[in-house]
């Protein structure tokens, strides 16, 4: 298992309920270990995942499919 972290910047304003729903949906994906929002910067989503199972681009696509404009940071 290759543990990797990625940060996804979400352009939209996102409230606590939307954050919770997005985190829950990402947790259902095979290979996702720990999705979480930054408490100080609520538009930043950090995701720990198994890169042998899922890719950062797949994670980004999942966020976009839920209606958010987003991009990967640091790549």
pLDDT digit string (tens) for 11-28? 988 999 999 999 999 999
**For residue range 33-70, what is the model confidence (pLDDT) as tens digits?**
999 999 889 999 999 999 999 999 999 999 999 999 99
Give residue limits of the domains in the chain.
3-67
Tell me how far apart the alpha carbons of residues 40 and 29 are, in angstroms, rounded to a whole number: 26
If one counts every other C-beta atom within 10 angstroms of the C-beta of residue 71, the result is 13
Please give the CATH topology (third level) of the domain spanning 3-67: Alpha-Beta Plaits (3.30.70)
At residue 61, the 3 state secondary structure works out as helix
pTM over 0.75: yes
């Amino acid at each position: 298992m290759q543990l990797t972290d990625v940060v996804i910047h979400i352009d939209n304003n996102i409230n606590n309920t939307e954050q919770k729903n997005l985190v829950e949906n990402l947790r259902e994906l095979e290979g996702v270990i720990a999705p979480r929002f930054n408490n100080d910067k609520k538009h930043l989503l950090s995701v720990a995942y198994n890169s042998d199972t899922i890719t950062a681009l797949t994670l980004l696509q999942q966020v976009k499919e839920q209606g958010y404009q987003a991009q990967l940071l640091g790549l």
